[in-house]
Amino acid sequence: MLRPASIRVVPAVPTLRRAAAPTLEHMTTTLITGANRSLGLETARRLIDAGHTVYAGMRDPATGDDARELGAHVVRLDVGDEQSVASAIAELPALDVLVNNAGVLGTSYGVDDLDADAITAVLDTNVVGVVRVTQAALPLLRRSENPVIVNVASGVGWPRWLTDPSHDEFPVKAVPYAASKAALVALTVQYAKNLPQMRVNASDPGYTATDFNGHSGHQTITEGTDATVALAQLGADGPTGEFHNRDGRIDF
């Protein structure tokens, strides 16, 4: 999230039914894009603590020391480069959970600084990049007993909240970022319809203190990963095609 309209008291995240705990016979293998810092790094930490074998994707593995210290396997993965994506997927021995976390804010914050190049760059990472990674990962996910995809979206892509002064998202005027996250929610729904054997959902981190907003968010980085981490641990009977924040399901 970018900046607030108001400060809200956030209740504890609801409990979703999780998959069975990983065992030595079958460790859950998870790939997280953009996992060298911020929400991606915290998601890696929490899923490693939950017993997942985590592959931390990032454009520059030299920035991956924090992920390595957690016990993650660092892989070079640039979601904007199809060959980089293919090479990263080829390094995985298996894949049960894909967390499409990588994203960019962009350089346009209104309409006076907006042009086609500015919105194309954001869409290429935040939407097309998700398609590149997901399509490359599908063969491995289809071999999993409990395949899960989590797309990290944002309430900034939710028109109802962009137009509601009581929501944190209301003051945001950036066109590319909002458009990309709205597209990502729709993309999630369509993937879920096409892949009924998988759990495919989108998460909203909420207004979390990250580099995106100069660490001005009122949620901690751990609170900002609550929905993503919960969705990444869904069992085969869990929801699919839904949008969740740490409060639970967001009604379409």
- Write out the catalytic residue numbers: 177
With beta carbons less than 8 A apart as the criterion, state whether 28 and 96 touch. Answer: yes
Q: How far, in Å, CA of 117 to CA of 113, rounded?
A: 11
Q: How many CB atoms lie within 10 A of CB 132?
A: 23
Strand partners, 99: 32, 150
Q: How far, in Å, CA of 225 to CA of 241, rounded?
A: 19
**C-alpha 153: how far from chain center:** 6
Q: What is the SS3 assignment for 30?
A: strand
Q: How far from each other are the two terminal CA atoms of the chain, in whole angstroms?
A: 19
Q: How many CB atoms lie within 10 A of CB 133?
A: 26
Strand partners, 203: 152, 244
- What is the pairing mode between strands 199-203 and 148-152? parallel
